Structures are given as structure tokens and as C-alpha cells.
């Protein structure tokens, strides 16, 4: 009897493995959807569209970018978590993925349990910009203005618990300033508000803000990384400009729903890394201050766990709470 049951179990496992192998061999045989939990026009959207275009040529299938902004990236991320784990619905997400667990007490998904990391596509800095009407020509000017008028300066973000939000909160915490947070549904709406003069300053992702700085529509003051950006070498780091020790950077990565077949994940990883490491894509990204990555799923998973722990400490120290 035990032998019969064992044979049946082994047979079921064999059928499942064969099905997975066949699925991976034919993958993809229909269009793929990239869920981007941010609005069109922001850094995550831009990276997703470049990668989608390149992968569609490799796979011979259409890849649709589906923008699902709102709730600090929660709406689209939850949708991806609940998708069928077959490789045809993927998530292209920014660092809010590892920030949300630190800021929000309850999430409709578990970042570690409900997703299979594929790779981090790019690394990027943020760029502190102010509207031309703001009488601040430097980081020290912003600090002085904020201290002279507590609560009167407002700052845009791409949503609560996003990397742009945390960049500003870290600045506010380290400079002991009081500024008002105005969250938007993505980097695109945030930069639009800045251009319209509806917000005073914004720690925008560099690829979102830099074109407007170059066009003279916004004033760039500093970048947030540990070193100057090759895309804007004339701009100092925030640390150089008056806040010693300040360092903040972000990333954009790709993940799939948990339980996606490993052979499918392996192919997605291999082809995505080839795309972001190709000379033409690296050059395209670097022009906007984005540095191509393409790490392993294991490295991505380890980074996520480290970042969640880091942000929990920062959030607790700064007293940050989701609205």
C-alpha cells in the first residue's frame, strides 16, 4: 500500500516537473504584462518601458506596461501579488517595495513571501530641486528658509512610503527642519506639480527631474548619493552641500508572483540582465543618471531583507507614519 502511495506521489511530482519544463520551453507564447505601481512619466515607468521594448524583441511577444498608481505603490503591487504565477504578469517596482513594510503596520501582501525577486534593473540617485520662485540657491539656503518659516515650505513626493518621500524625511530629520509633505500618485504628477509652482521642493528621482533642470524650469541644488552623478557632475551631493553624512539612493527592480516556475524565472532573469547590460541601454540610462545593475535573484532577495530592516530603524528614529 505504501509503495502504491509512494509511486502515485512520485508520479504526480514527475507530471508537475514535466509541466513546468514544457511551460518554460514554450515561454512566452502570449503577451506579457508589466505592472508598474507608479504613474506614467516617472523613473519606474521609463525603465519599465525601455526593458519592455527590448524584451519584446527578444521574446517575439508584446509586453504591455500597465500603470497602476496609488497608495504609495500599494495598489499595483497588490495586484501583482495576486496574479497567476505563470510569468505573464510581472512587477516593475521601485524602492517603495522595501520601504512600505517599515512604514505601514498592515499590508495586503508580504514583500518576502508573496514575490519571487528576478533582478534589480538600475540604481539611481535623487535630485533635490526647487521651483524658481523659491529664494534658495543652495542646500544651506533651503535649511535656513525652512527654519525661518517652520511648516510653510512644502515638498512633493511620488507617494507615501516611496523613496522620494524617505529622501525628504531623512533630510528633514537630519537638519531638524519642519516641512509639509504633499504626496502625489507617482513621480510624473509630482514633477508636474513642481513645474506649476504648486510645491516648493522635491527630492525627485534624477531621471525625472534632470531634463527640467537642464531646461531651466527647475533649479537643481544637490544629488542624494554618496558621490556626484555622472549625469550632473556640477551638482554637489547633499552631504557636500551642508548635511554631513546624508546619503540616500534608490533602485528599480523586477519581480514575479511567488510560485512562478523556476525555469521561467531563470529565463526572465537571464534576458533582463542582457538588456540592462547592453551598451545601448546602459548609455541610454546613464544619460539620465541611471546606472544599470542586473544582479542575481539571491542578491536582490538579500538586499530587500537588509533594506526592510534599515528602513524600520530610520522610520522608528524619525517617527514617520503613513497617513
List CB contacts of 126: < 8 A, sequence separation 6 or more.
163, 164, 167, 203, 204, 205, 206, 223, 224, 248, 249, 250
CA gap 111, 312 in Å, rounded: 14
Which triple of cell numbers denotes residue 28?
512566452
Q: How far is CA 274 from the centre of its chain?
A: 20
What pLDDT does residue 7 have? 52
Give the integer Cα–Cα distance in Å for 85 and 68: 19
Percent of the chain at pLDDT exceeding 90: 78
What per-residue confidence (pLDDT) applies to 160?
Answer: 86
- Indicate the pLDDT class of residue 8, thresholds 50, 70 and 90: low
- Look at the pTM and tell me if it is higher than 0.95: no
Domains of the chain: 30-123+250-318 (3.40.190.150), 125-223 (3.40.190.10)
What does the pLDDT look like over 263-288, one tens digit per residue?
Answer: 999 999 999 999 999 999 999 999 98
- Gap between the Cα atoms of 241 and 236, Å rounded: 6
Contacts of 165 (CB under 8 A, 6+ apart): 72, 99, 157, 158, 159, 181, 183
Report the DSSP pairing between strands 154-157 and 249-257. Answer: unpaired
Average pLDDT over residues 251-274: 98
Q: Is the pLDDT of residue 41 over 90?
A: no
pLDDT of residue 6: 54
Q: Examine the pLDDT at 17 and tell me if it is beyond 90.
A: no
User: What is the 8-class DSSP label of residue 156?
Assistant: E
Residues 115/283, Cβ–Cβ less than 8 Å: no
Contact (CB, 8 A) for 118 and 254: yes
Residue 179's SS3 state is coil
Q: For the residues 171-181, what does the mean pLDDT come to? A: 95
What does the DSSP assignment read for 103-147? Answer: H-S--SS-TTTSEEEEEEEEEEEEEEEE-TTS--SSHHHHHHHHH
Whether the per-residue pLDDT at 9 is higher than 60: the answer is no
Kind of pairing between the strands at 63-67 and 89-94: unpaired
The pLDDT of residue 42 is 86
25 pLDDT higher than 90: no
316 confidence band (pLDDT: 50, 70, 90): confident
Q: What is the pLDDT of residues 193-250, one digit of tens each?
A: 999 999 999 999 999 999 999 999 999 999 999 999 989 999 999 999 999 999 999 9
Tell how strand 201-205 and strand 115-130 pair up: antiparallel
Tell me what pLDDT residue 315 has. Answer: 86
Q: pLDDT tens for residues 131-150? A: 999 999 999 999 999 999 99
Amino acid at each position: 500500500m505504501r509503495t502504491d502511495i509512494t509511486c502515485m506521489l512520485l508520479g504526480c511530482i514527475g507530471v508537475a516537473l514535466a509541466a513546468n519544463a514544457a511551460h518554460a520551453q514554450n515561454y512566452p507564447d502570449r503577451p506579457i504584462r508589466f505592472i508598474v505601481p507608479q504613474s506614467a512619466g516617472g523613473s519606474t515607468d521609463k525603465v519599465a518601458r525601455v526593458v519592455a521594448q527590448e524584451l519584446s524583441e527578444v521574446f517575439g511577444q508584446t509586453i504591455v506596461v500597465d500603470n497602476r498608481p496609488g497608495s504609495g505603490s500599494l495598489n499595483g503591487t497588490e495586484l501583482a501579488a495576486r496574479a497567476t504565477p505563470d510569468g505573464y504578469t510581472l512587477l516593475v517596482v521601485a524602492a517603495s517595495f522595501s520601504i512600505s513594510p517599515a512604514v505601514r503596520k498592515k499590508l495586503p501582501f508580504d514583500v518576502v513571501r508573496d514575490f519571487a525577486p528576478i533582478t534589480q534593473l538600475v540604481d539611481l540617485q535623487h535630485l533635490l530641486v526647487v521651483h524658481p520662485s523659491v529664494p534658495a540657491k543652495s542646500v544651506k539656503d533651503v535649511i535656513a528658509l525652512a527654519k525661518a518659516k517652520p511648516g510653510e515650505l512644502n515638498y512633493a513626493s511620488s507617494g507615501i512610503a516611496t523613496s522620494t518621500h524617505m529622501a525628504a524625511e531623512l533630510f528633514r530629520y537630519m537638519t531638524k527642519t519642519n516641512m509639509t509633505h504633499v504626496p502625489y500618485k507617482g513621480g510624473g504628477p509630482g514633477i508636474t506639480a513642481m513645474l506649476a509652482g504648486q510645491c516648493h521642493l522635491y527630492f525627485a528621482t534624477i531621471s525625472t527631474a534632470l531634463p527640467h533642470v537642464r531646461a531651466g524650469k527647475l533649479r537643481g541644488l544637490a544629488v542624494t548619493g554618496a558621490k556626484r552623478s555622472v549625469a550632473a557632475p556640477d551638482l554637489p551631493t547633499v552631504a557636500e552641500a551642508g548635511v554631513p553624512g546624508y546619503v540616500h539612493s534608490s533602485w528599480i527592480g523586477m519581480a514575479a508572483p511567488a510560485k512562478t516556475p523556476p525555469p521561467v524565472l531563470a529565463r526572465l532573469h537571464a534576458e533582463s540582465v542582457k538588456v540592462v547590460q547592453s551598451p545601448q541601454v546602459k548609455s541610454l540610462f546613464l544619460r539620465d543618471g541611471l546606472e544599470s545593475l542586473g544582479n542575481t535573484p539571491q542578491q536582490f532577495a538579500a538586499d530587500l531583507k537588509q533594506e526592510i530592516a534599515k528602513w524600520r530603524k530610520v522610520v522608528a528614529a524619525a517617527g514617520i507614519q503613513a497617513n
